[in-house]
Each structure stands twice: as C-alpha cells, then as structure tokens.
Amino acid sequence: MKASLFCTARYMGPAPHDIWPLAADTFSGEVAQRSMETTFEQFRCADEFGFDWVTTAEHHYSAFSLTPNPMVMAGALTQVVKRAKIAVLGPTIPILNPVRVAEEFAMLDTMSGGRVVAGMLRGTPNEYVTYNINPSESRERFAEALHLIRRAWTEQQPFGWLGRYYQYRAIAIWPRPVQKPHPPIYMSGSSPEAGEFAAKNRIGIGFAFTTVPMAKKAVQHYRAVAHGDGWDPPPDQVIYRAMFHVAESDEQAFADLSALPPRVALTDQNAAISEAVKDTSYYGSQLQEQSQRNARRELSDRIELGQVIVGSPETALKQVRRIRDELGAGILDLVVGAQLGDKTLRSIELFGTKVLPRMREL
C-alpha cells in the first residue's frame, strides 16, 4: 500500500473556510504567501520522508484552498518534489477547456520526467457557478471531455473533434506525455454511475469526504462491473482519502488535536477562533474544556468511520490496515487537516519513516 500527502494550501489567517463565495475583506497577501510557503515545506517533507505521491486539487472562491488552478501548483511542485509522483486530483474538466487540460498535463509530465497522475473530476455544484456552466450537463460534459483528453494524448496525427459540447477544427498537442500511452487516470467513484463509467473505461477511482462503509459498497460495485467487463482492478486503482495526525504517542496525538476547537481540528485552521477558545477567563476556560471533550468524541467517531487516522505510528498502522482490509485500496491519500507548525512536519516525518515502510508490506 502506498501513501500520498494532500495539502489543500488553506489560507492560514482569520477567515472562514465554510463560506462560498468568500468576500476578500479579510484577505492578506502576506498570509497567503505564508500559507503557500507552508504548503511547499510540507510537500518537501513528504518527498524527503518517502511518500509515494503528493496531491493537489482545484477549488474556487474560498479560503479552504488557494489552488483554483492545480496545474500551476503542480508545475511549481515539479521543482520542489524531486522523487514522488505528483497527483493532480484534479482539474474539474467539465468547466474547463479539455484540450488545454490535455496540453497542461502533457507539460507537467514532461517537466516531472513522467511522474504525473491525472485525476479527472466533475466537481461540486458551486464549481459550475464559478464559470457559469450548467451543472445538469456535468456528467455528459465529463464523459466527452475525458474521451477527448485521452485521444489528444494518444493520437499521432492531427484530428478534428465535433462533439455535443466541444468542437475543434484541429488538435495536435505538443509536448506529448512522457508516460505511455498516457499518465494514469483516476476519477471519483462515489456514485454507482461513476463507478460503472470508471470500470468500463478502465479508470482508477478515488474517494474523499466519505466513510469506509460507504466507500466499501462503491468499491464492490466498481470491481463487480470491471470483472464483468473482463478485467480486475489492482489495488493501486483505488484511492482513499483520510485526514491524519501522528505523534510519538496516542495521548500526544489526541492532545495536539483536542486542544483545538472541533471544527478546527482536522477541518479548519482559523487562527482567530483558536485563540478565542484559548481565552484564560473563567468562561473561556470552561469553553475550552468543553471543546476538548467534544473534539475527542468527534475524533473517536471519525476514526471509527475511517475518516481520520490519529495516534502513534503503531496505532496509525492499525487504522491503515483496517482501511486496506475493508476496501482493498492501494493508495492512501492523507490530508493535512490542521496546521500545527513543527508538529505537523513531525507528523509527516513519523508517518513516512515509521508507518509507510510497514504499509508497503500490507
């Protein structure tokens, strides 16, 4: 089993991460720059300590993520991450120009020496508002865009495309992808329709913001359709995403996260809220204690559901093994959910040096 590190490049200042679209009145260029630098340092750390992949994704109009164009982030990562694969999971292809997406992936594959993983996503409803695309067309747009991108990567001669949503007089992309026939492709597999499409087109699937029981049903459907279509997906065709924090001991890992408000620990990282809860007044102290109790309960529930991995390296490995056994997933995409400075870097180091070597034996 392999591990990837996913950093959303969240804005690390006092701004809400659950409002869309978010007004810019709290934005600071200095904070945004520091947020990016922190993200690059975490990716660099993951590469140094043996992670197989690093992951970036596309989101718009929000402090949740500062990567509206994940291709730009991935291009920068080719100069920072020298060994691990760079997974772009991914561009929201129904709202983009698919030929441009094919060209950009080919550029990235060339710049990285053939280390790019291509995630193709439909996106969420708010993403369609961003570029004024009808969300009811998303599934058909996705299918057509994906077929067009694949052909652009593999067709040796210039060709035209006359589809329902995309029309091009001539397509002949340069550069070509380094990987042959093209970079590995993944898509979301959460819905039965998506799982069936992926299986019939021999595409890998990924799961995010779900639970192990829900993902298990979806994986079983995907594998059943694939088997009926004449192939059996290997473990690396299944990605499962979970937030994580590893420390020297279980108690330390829980203490690190329980000191944060429940909606900050492994979700948001709003410094202003965090400082408010740490108020030393009597009522502030009472709120902090209640917050810590709530955070521990929430963390325990989410560990049980497979949404988060928290604990010592030994405990983390047990949680990883359960995910592996339940889903047969070959790639675990680990999300940095709470920014804890050196503790976050230490968490990445501990996972890479103490957990990952044993994961590969699963």
Span 3-51, pLDDT tens digits: 999 999 999 999 998 899 999 999 999 999 999 999 999 999 999 999 9
CB burial of residue 326 (10 Å; 0-12, 13-18, 19+):
middle
Strands 159-162 and 167-171: antiparallel
Q: Which pLDDT does position 218 carry in this prediction? A: 98
Q: Which pLDDT does position 270 carry in this prediction? A: 35
DSSP state for residue 93 in the 8-state scheme: G
What are residue 116's phi and psi, to 5 degrees? -90, 140
Residue boundaries of the structural domains of the chain: 2-359
Structure tokens belonging to residue 143: 């299918």
- Distance, CA of 286 to CA of 275 (rounded, Å): 14
- Distance, CA of 136 to CA of 128 (rounded, Å): 10
Span 109-142, pLDDT tens digits: 999 999 999 999 999 888 899 899 999 999 999 9
CA angle 89, 91, 95 (to 5 degrees): 150
Cite the DSSP H helix spans in the chain. Answer: 29-48, 70-77, 98-112, 125-130, 138-154, 192-200, 212-228, 250-258, 271-277, 282-305, 313-327, 342-350, 356-359
**Residue in 67, 89, 69, 66 with CA at minimum distance from that of residue 5:** 89
CATH number of 2-359: 3.20.20.30
Span 264-308, pLDDT tens digits: 445 533 333 333 334 444 445 554 565 567 768 888 999 999 999
* Mean pLDDT in residue range 180-205: 97
pLDDT at residue 177 above 90?
yes
* Mean pLDDT in residue range 156-162: 98
What is the per-residue burial (b if ≥16 Cβ within 10 Å, else e) of 248-262?
A: eeeeebbebbbbbbb
